[in-house]
Structure 1
Amino acid sequence: MRPDPADREVGVGPWPGGPDAWPSDPRLDPELLAEGDRRNVVDRYRYWSVKAIVADVDARRHPLHVAIENFAHDMNIGSVVRTANAFAVAEVHVVGRRRWNRRGAMVTDRYLHLRHHPSVAELLAWAAAAGLPVIGIDNGPGSVPIEHRPLPRACVLLLGQESAGLSEEALDGCAEVLHITQYGSTRSINAGAAAAVAMHAWMLQHAGPAPG
């Protein structure tokens, strides 16, 4: 009989043998060694401190930035952050309101870099100064399919809000606007899902094998 998934424990318990048996690796967190590590991290990071994990990922982050407009407290930002962490993007940029609902991020915002821009104009100015083209993800008029579309290695993927899409100011500032091809009856897909598809399209072109 298969165990009930609800009964499965995530992660690992305390390091066996007590403090005298703890490894001397400075990346490890004494509190996690003592109490166990139940975080949603890959196995290679078990018992590592947050600081050590961020430093390790920083050494191999991709030159991809992801930005999302936040003018109506979009609930999808947490989902975007979580996916961006999974793909080790350089930064996530929140445009508009600084505050966003972190529940959907599942604490992954601790493991990546977040930057706030009060306005679209400030994001576009930052991207221009950094030499990064801004690629819009929106299914409005004039957009082209993201499938098989070459994406710049270093760039910003910019997403709009749920239902409203990208603002006119954002669309005007994009080097190009791409959409995700759909085959059903709905007008659009969830903004968090769209971000995941767009990031994965970039990964297929530029990321290479994941670390072991």
Structure 2
Amino acid sequence: MTEQGPAPGERPEVGVGPWDGPWPDGEHWDPELLREGDRRNVVDRYRYWHLDAIVADLDRTRHAFHVAVENWQHDLNIGSVVRTANAFNAQAVHIVGRRRWNRRGAMVTDKYQHIHHHPDAEALAAWCSDQGLALIGIDNFPDSVPLETFDLPRDCVLLFGQEGPGLTEQAHAACDAVLSIEQFGSTRSMNAAAAAAIAMHAWIRRHVFGQRVD
């Protein structure tokens, strides 16, 4: 008999139910999840793991790039940027400006990601200098260099602005380089979260898959 999907209008159940059989040994297993089931949005290898164990495991394989987002307008896109940073296992996410940010789009992925705060772009730039990280802005300015032709450094912070206004002038001035993403339609700019995903994937292509820019 074929398996039936969810009824019309019903959401499919996410994750897995209670552990079937004797419980496994290991400190990374979460007894409550083993007993009740794991409905979190995590990859299969982390099913039934407790949060601290997942973060510790991610820390062993995090990539060298960081992500920073200016936070002046309580932008909903910030959460989506954090979610993508988690998907690409960024070293950390930096919130620039207001300390409180809109977590809705993060879909709880901020719990697995190291989050830091800087009061302004100058403070972020100073931190980058201390850490030996290049600060790379992503925005469409007249002096921007196409992302497609730029060899992204391995150790860097990718800085994104707010939806609409983009990077502030202070952030623009603080960057070591500012990159644009080539567009071919009628809109002046693309969604900030989409731009962040493209830039992060460009770093992954360069430094994980070794695809150099000619």
Relative to the length of structure 1, the TM-score reads 0.93
- Between the aligned partners of 1:122 and 1:29, the Cα distance in structure 2 is 39
In the alignment, residue 132 of structure 1 is paired with which amino acid?
L
Is residue 2:180 matched to residue 1:179?
yes
Q: How does 1:1-212 map to 2 (within 5 A)?
A: 3-4=5-6, 6-17=10-21, 21-208=22-209
Moved over 4 A (4+): 4-7
Where structure 2 has 5 or more consecutive residues not aligned to the other structure, the ranges are none
Where structure 1 has 5 or more consecutive residues not aligned to the other structure, the ranges are none
Identity of aligned residues (%): 63
Q: CA deviation at 1:3?
A: 2.6
Task: Give the secondary-structure state (helix, strand or coil) at the position aligned to 2:148.
Answer: coil
Deviations 1:93-122 (A, max 9, x none): 000001111110000000010000011111
Q: CA deviation at 1:180?
A: 0.7
- Between the aligned partners of 1:50 and 1:132, the Cα distance in structure 2 is 29
Q: CA deviation at 1:8?
A: 2.7
- Between the aligned partners of 1:123 and 1:40, the Cα distance in structure 2 is 31
